[in-house]
Amino acid sequence: MATVQATAQATGARKVKPNEQKIPLARVLGRWAFMWPILALNLIVIVIPSIAGLGIAFTEWSGYGQPEFIGLANFDRLMQDAVFFKSLSNNIVWTAIFLTIPIFMGLLGAYLLAGIKRGQMIFRVLYFIPFVLASVVNAQVWRFLLHHRVGIGPWLAELGITDILDVALFGKAETALYTVAFVDIWHFWGFLVVIYLAAMSAVDVELYEVARLDGASRFQQFRYVTLPSIRPTIVFTLLMILIWSATVFDYVYILTSGKPAHASEVMGTYLYETAFFRFDAGYAGAIGVVMTLWVALAVGGFVFLRRRGWDV
């Protein structure tokens, strides 16, 4: 009897739960019918061009005619290209700048705005306006402002403040990259202010009350309550900056086009010049693969930290 009961329990132990019931085929097809348009769009716009770009990196191709497979020759050429390493080092410098200065300015701006109760929305809009303006407009405004003949430099020189802004900042090898970065920071840091301020508004108010009862100053509340609470948002912005720094193009190309003498060249502008001015699409594809590896390493590091239990 016990054996029969055990057998019955073994065979009938697992009962089909309501959420494990078979979904009708028509419903499954209906769901896929709604997903196929966006999947097809991603396939055409992202997947196929990405695979094609990877394949082009192993060919010699001018953009016209039939590509010729040359294996790893383009990557071997990269290892001997001084201009490529200059552009890569400029990308690294750009990344270091944007991982520090805009983050600090964004946190500081959000910290100051968090204490404003009236008119905060006005400041949010003012900070965010440069980010929504077209990069061409922003770049041209700053091109004229920093022009060494018609900008604010000559006006300051008349007041006795010389050798600061009355020089060709975009035309000097020592200052070109940093001047472009300054313009891009001006357009970007307000975006971080709004992001961090939104994250701060979601922090539990009781944490601040407990900190005040313990005698914590406002700065101590910011350091020990706010920063740990918004850490996922900070890490997310760091990841996005790492990705954007690999693909930076617009402000550099508009303001300097990588000049003078490749002093402000970045991988994006070098790729564009190689593909569309030198008609060396295969070599440009190899540069694009390096940029993709940069992004993959950044995303891979983020995923690794998540799997290790980091709250990011």
CATH code, domain carrying 233? 1.10.3720.10
- The pLDDT of residue 12: 46
**271, part of any domain:** no
- The pLDDT of residue 161: 79
- The pLDDT of residue 312: 62
CA nearest to 189, candidates 262, 277, 296, 107: 107
- The pLDDT of residue 1: 42
- The pLDDT of residue 16: 46
- The pLDDT of residue 175: 92
Mean pLDDT, range 280-285, rounded to an integer: 94
The shares of helix, strand and coil residues in the chain, as percent rounded to the nearest 5, are 70, 0, 30
- The pLDDT of residue 4: 41
* b (16+ CB within 10 A) / e for 188-208: bbbbbbbbbbebbeebeeeeb
Cα(first)–Cα(last) distance of the chain, in Å?
57
pLDDT of residue 287 exceeding 70, the answer is yes
**99, part of any domain:** yes
Q: What is the mean pLDDT of the chain?
A: 87
When divided into structural domains, the chain yields a total of 1
Reported confidence tier of residue 63, pLDDT bands at 50, 70, 90? confident
- The pLDDT of residue 3: 45
**What proportion of the chain, given as a percentage, has pLDDT over 70?**
92
- The pLDDT of residue 180: 96
pTM of model > 0.75? yes
Reported confidence tier of residue 10, pLDDT bands at 50, 70, 90? very low
**228, part of any domain:** yes
Amino acid at 292: T
Question: Helical H runs in 159-276?
Answer: 176-201, 205-213, 218-221, 227-229, 231-246, 250-255, 267-276
pLDDT of residue 293 exceeding 90, the answer is yes
Domain range for residue 114?
90-264
**285, part of any domain:** no
Mean pLDDT, range 260-265, rounded to an integer: 93
* Residues 197, 311: Cα–Cα separation, whole Å: 19
Omega before 228 within 30 of 0, i.e. cis:
no
Lowest mean pLDDT among 115-124, 250-259, 277-286: 115-124
**273, part of any domain:** no
- The pLDDT of residue 311: 66
**185, part of any domain:** yes
**8, part of any domain:** no
* pLDDT tens per residue, range 182-239: 999 999 999 999 999 999 988 888 888 888 888 888 888 888 999 999 998 999 999 9
Sign of CA dihedral 213, 216, 219, 221: negative
Who has greater pLDDT, 13 or 236?
236
pLDDT of residue 31 exceeding 90, the answer is no
- DSSP structure class, residue 46: I
Beta strands in the chain (DSSP E): 59-60, 68-69
**69, part of any domain:** no
